[in-house]
Amino acid sequence: MKIIPLHKEYSQLIAKAAKDNRRAQQQLFKIFAPKMMSVCRQYLKNNTKAEEVMLAGFFKVFNHLKDYRNEGSFEGWIRRIMVNESISQLRKDKKLHFVHEAKIENTEVHATFIETSLETDEIQKMIDNLPDGYRTVFILYAVEGYKHSEIAEMLQINESTSKSQLFKARKMLQTTIKKQNNISYGAS
């Protein structure tokens, strides 16, 4: 099976950056930094801390660029590094706590759609207000698309803990959104 690079437009730039060409590295940084800052910000509430983690992530990207095998999405490769750096920072700050609770039967929760007029910033604030463990699992599952088995491995927790954290995060977000909608619409 032949693997076709999905990043043809970046292949020459990546090759130059892998050879420590600072201009090429700077161009890659300019292209991907805004998206990667967003990734780090999802995990870390503080913008300054998120920026520090993003920069540390790019340091790793450029140090390991020679290891990139041109398979799959280059952006996805960088994104995974940023996610791992964010999780490492949460661990370092000792903010990543998981409550090992009694097993919740049927944790495969179906999404409940709540009609809302909330802006993206308001939703991000609600996610920021989740406990760190809930928020991390929620983002890994709902935003990044990881499976519970992958999340459990990444965070060194049980798969059932991952499911429980997601369940609790969704419930907490649903409650917060409902309250916000009641305030917005003047309901009591």
> Could you tell me the residue ranges of all domains in the chain?
8-92, 120-184
For residues 18 and 63, give the distance between their C-alpha atoms in angstroms, rounded to a whole number.
Answer: 8
How do the pLDDT tens digits run along the chain, 188 residues long?
444 444 456 889 999 999 999 999 999 999 999 999 999 999 998 899 999 999 999 999 999 999 888 788 899 999 999 999 999 998 888 766 665 554 444 444 444 444 445 677 788 888 989 998 999 999 999 989 999 999 999 998 999 999 999 999 999 999 988 887 776 555 54
Euclidean distance between the first and the last CA atom of the chain, given in angstroms as a whole number: 61
Question: CATH topology for 8-92?
Answer: Rna Polymerase Sigma Factor; Chain: A (1.10.1740)
- Can 8-92 and 120-184 be said to share one CATH topology? no
For residues 105 and 113, give the distance between their C-alpha atoms in angstroms, rounded to a whole number.
Answer: 22
Q: b or e along 34-71 (b: 16 or more beta carbons within 10 Å of the residue's beta carbon)? A: eebbebbbbbbbeeebbeebbebbbeebbeebeebeee
Decide: pTM greater than 0.85.
no
Q: From the CB of residue 180, how many other CB atoms can be counted at a distance below 10 Å?
A: 18
For residues 114 and 90, give the distance between their C-alpha atoms in angstroms, rounded to a whole number.
Answer: 30
**Into which CATH architecture does domain 120-184 fall?**
Orthogonal Bundle (1.10)
The two structure tokens encoding residue 66: 């020679």
- Identity of residue 70: N
